[in-house]
Structure 1
Amino acid sequence: MKYFKFIILFFIFSSVTSCGGDDDICESGEGTPRMKIMFKTGGKITVLDSIKIFADLGTSVVDFGWNRNVDSVFVPLRVDDSPFTDIYIKTSAKEDSSKVRINYTTKSIYVSPGCGVKRNYENLNSVLLLPNSVKSVEQGQNFIQDEEKTNLYLNF
């Protein structure tokens, strides 16, 4: 009976310690990074009262909702083989959207069995196609490997 309890405890302990591992979940920011967009008015970084961003991610246009009192937003880019992503920007519900096209080349990088492959974006170039509330665009860092640096400035 003594050995039976020991064997049961051994199996319970070994099953608890063998659960999970570092490669089970991609949780430490190793996935495909998003593009950081900041806002300027008169050449200076500004906080917008409200902004609504839409992104054409290939299969559909995704609405990211209204953001209030922000100086920056993060927008995902397409992960298919398209060389560009179109984003639409509104600062009020009554106005038409401004359209910005972000052109880039992609590079796939293997991360781990849990995360799989992530996309890095290089040679970023942004073009304002429909100016409304957005008057012009300024290029920031021209590649995306993480979400730390600003890649695009929208001038209002």
Structure 2
Amino acid sequence: MKSFKFLFALCCICLLFSCGADDDICESGEGTPRMKFSFLNSLTGNEKTLDSLYVAVDYGSGKVQLGGEAKITSRIIPLRVDDSPYTDVYFRTTNLGAESRVRVNYTTKAVYVSPGCGIKKTYENLNSVLTNPANAPVKSLKDGQNFIENEDKTNLYLLF
């Protein structure tokens, strides 16, 4: 009986010391923010809802297809997190159609968040260059907020 009480007390003490905050989870949106693209009508300048949009991104090892979405007015896309000063993003309005390439140039800054989240990148001095073939869907670009600290504000407007 004495050993049972000792074992029970030891288990209770171990349980008390093992309880603690979950430092290994980054749930509060403190990770590296993504870039927000919104869409405008090239003739009127008003917000435009696209019937479909297909996006691909070159993260340094070739294009990665991010898939398509229907009936959207904006899209949030992750940028490169290595030390590259730019990310190439490709937009199509049809699955196998012509695509527009947007090169997003920036400078990055690393910010320590917490032991669980580690370091996040913030993007500053955003500027973009549009490369279009003859029948590309994106007609021009319009700058938005020129830094990314969260995903609330539009960073770049694509005119269709």
Q: State the TM-score, normalizing by the size of structure 1.
A: 0.90
* Pairing 1:58–2:60 present: yes
Task: Give distance in 2, aligned partners of 1:16 and 1:52.
Answer: 51
CA RMSD of aligned residues (A): 2.0
Seen in structure 2, the aligned counterparts of structure 1 residues 102 and 6 have a Cα distance that, compared at 3 Å, is same
Q: Which residue is equivalent to 2:155? A: 151
Q: Which residue is equivalent to 1:119? A: 121
Seen in structure 2, the aligned counterparts of structure 1 residues 8 and 150 have a Cα distance that, compared at 3 Å, is same
After TM superposition, give the deviation of residue 135 of structure 1 in Å.
0.2
Secondary structure at the aligned position of 2:38 is classed as: strand
Task: Give distance in 2, aligned partners of 1:66 and 1:23.
Answer: 35
Seen in structure 2, the aligned counterparts of structure 1 residues 73 and 5 have a Cα distance that, compared at 3 Å, is farther
Task: Give distance in 1, aligned partners of 2:19 and 2:39.
Answer: 45
Stretches of structure 1 lacking an aligned partner (at least 5 in a row): none
Q: Which residue is equivalent to 1:137? A: 141
Secondary structure at the aligned position of 1:45 is classed as: coil
* Pairing 1:37–2:41 present: no
CA-to-aligned-CA distance 1:39-68 (integer Å, 9 cap, x gap): 111311111110001011112321110111
Which of residues 93, 100, 103 is equivalent to 1:101? Answer: 103
Seen in structure 2, the aligned counterparts of structure 1 residues 89 and 15 have a Cα distance that, compared at 3 Å, is same
- Deviating more after overlay: 145-154 vs 88-97: 88-97
Identity of aligned residues (%): 55
After TM superposition, give the deviation of residue 9 of structure 1 in Å.
6.3
Q: Which residue is equivalent to 2:28? A: 28
Stretches of structure 2 lacking an aligned partner (at least 5 in a row): none
CA-to-aligned-CA distance 1:19-55 (integer Å, 9 cap, x gap): 4523211121111100011111131111111000101
Query: Which letter maps to 1:65?
Result: G
Seen in structure 2, the aligned counterparts of structure 1 residues 6 and 86 have a Cα distance that, compared at 3 Å, is same
Task: Give distance in 1, aligned partners of 2:151 and 2:128.
Answer: 17
Task: Give distance in 2, aligned partners of 1:91 and 1:22.
Answer: 43
Q: Which residue is equivalent to 1:85? A: 87
